[in-house]
Structures are given as structure tokens and as C-alpha cells.
Amino acid sequence: MQKRSLEIVVLSDIHLGTVGCHALELLQYLNSIDPKIIVLNGDFIDIWNFKKYYWPESHMMVLRTLLTMMANGTDIYYLTGNHDEVLRKVSSLQLGPFFIRDKLVLNLKGERVWIFHGDIFDVTMKHSKWIAKIGGRGYDLLILLNRAINRISTKLGKGKLSLSKKIKDSVKKAVRFIDDFEMTAMELAIDEGYDYVICGHIHQPKIRGYENDKGSVIYMNSGDWIENLTALEYDGEEWDMYRYTEEEMLENRRIEKLVKNRMIHDEIIIQ
């Protein structure tokens, strides 16, 4: 399969180490692209909810794939988020083509692009972090319940549904959280003189423009790899939103078989 050449790819909220992470789908996507820069915009590894007993081979393969991409010339910027905030203690670290930062500013053809996770705008994160952590664990349980329901729903021919997304959307709409988040990011970006602002955190993929009496800006959110399975791509001319499609599931099943075979092989070697 020929890989697509890209200048920049932005991924956020992958949450490796949790049951909700779609690592196999992410592997398929990573193996289909050849980017010069990958920006992991926060919550790449879910340190909040990390469990020693849960680290599937597919999650390790994501790390191996990224290491291979770095060896082949891709620069990787790991921007810290709330679920991996412990890395903010080393947010000036650079190891060859690997960088840990709290934010990233790029100059693309004279236009300034501001990239950061976005949890700084979350009131819950600022004042009630323990509530957010409890919510994160409950979210994992909801994902497990959702998968069980979807197995039954699919067999009955009714298709899949997302309980977690419905619950989150209804709550956030009630408190206007998403709109407030986006407006805050856009207005601050205009004040600081940026042409683009890219966030993650709220798991809502979007590209939208905004203008006020001080100027204009393009807001983008790269979404997540829990429910939406999206990424932002820059080909050197314009930004676009990638969305993982149902058609790609067939190829994903092939990768899943490879992962299982690798696990069986490793078990034989250990024995």
C-alpha cells in the first residue's frame, strides 16, 4: 500500500492504556501515511487511568510504529494534556526527533499556527481535578458497557450507538461547555495574533472560522481515538480532517490477526 505524503499530522486524545482506545484502527492509519511532523496533542498515554495489567500488544505496536517513523525521518512533538500532565515536569525535553512541549507554534507560509491540548480552559480541571479523574474511570466502564450493548444491537440488525458520546454531548450542551471552550480559544488566539488555533481535549473534531472586531482565526480540533477516530492533516497547502471509515474495518481485521499471531509467537518464545 502506497503511503500518503503529508507535512503535518495532529492527533489528540488517543488514551493508550485504556479499554476505549482504538489502537488497531490507529495503527492502520499510521501505516497509511508518511508525515514530516506528527503532533501528539495531549492525552496520548492515559496516565490517570493506567493499569499495570492492561497494556495490549496493539498499544505497544503503536509505540513501535511511532519509533519506526522517527527513525525514518519523522519529527514527533508530544504536547502534554491533563491525562499525561506529569510530563509537564519535563516539557523542554528533546531526544533527537522527539520533543515534549506544553504548546507548539508553527509558521506555515507566513501564517502562525498555535497548537495546545486545551485543558487550561476547563474549569473542572482547574478547580475540581478529582472529579475529572473519577469521571475518567466511569467513562472507561461506560465504554465497556457500550461495547457489550453494541454486540447485541449489531446481531439484531439495529447498528451501533455511542452511549458515552450521547451522555457527554447532552451534558456539555446543557452547560454550553463546547461552545465556551471554542470561543475562548478563538478569541485568545486572535488577541495573540495567531491565524490558526488547534486544540484537543473535548473529543469534538471540528474546523471552523471565527471573526470579531479584532481580527479572524481558524479553529480546529483533532478529535480523538476513542469515539470519533479523527486526525488533522496538512499537505503543505491546506488543512483537512481525516475520519476513519467503516470500509477500513476489513483491513483492520487483517492487522488484528497479525497482532494475535505476534502474541502467540511471543508466548512460544517465552515458554
d(CA 81, CA 258): 31
**pLDDT < 50 stretches in the chain:** 123-144, 163, 172, 174-175, 268
Q: What is the pLDDT of residue 254?
A: 63
4-270 has CATH 3.40.50.300 classification: no
C-alpha cell, 229: 477516530
Q: What is the pLDDT of residue 14?
A: 96
Q: What is the pLDDT of residue 136?
A: 40
Q: What is the pLDDT of residue 179?
A: 78
Q: What is the pLDDT of residue 79?
A: 96
Q: What is the pLDDT of residue 142?
A: 46
Q: What is the pLDDT of residue 172?
A: 45
Do strands 103-108 and 111-116 pair parallel, antiparallel, or not at all (unpaired)? antiparallel
Looking at residue 201, what DSSP letter applies?
Answer: S
Helix (H, G, I), strand (E, B) or coil at 36: strand
Q: What is the pLDDT of residue 3?
A: 94
Q: What is the pLDDT of residue 53?
A: 74
Q: What is the pLDDT of residue 85?
A: 86
Cell numbers 519535563 correspond to 90
Q: What is the pLDDT of residue 175?
A: 47
Q: What is the pLDDT of residue 84?
A: 86
d(CA 104, CA 109): 16
Q: What is the pLDDT of residue 83?
A: 84
Q: What is the pLDDT of residue 127?
A: 41
List, in order, residues 6 or more apart from 194 with CB less than 8 Å away. Answer: 105, 112, 113, 114, 217
List, in order, residues 6 or more apart from 178 with CB less than 8 Å away. Answer: 172, 202, 204
Please provide the size of the chain in residues. Answer: 271
183 close to 197: Cβ distance less than 8 angstroms: no
What is the model's pTM? 0.76
Instruction: Say if residue 188 is exposed, middle or buried (CB neighbours under 10 Å; 0-12, 13-18, 19+).
Output: middle
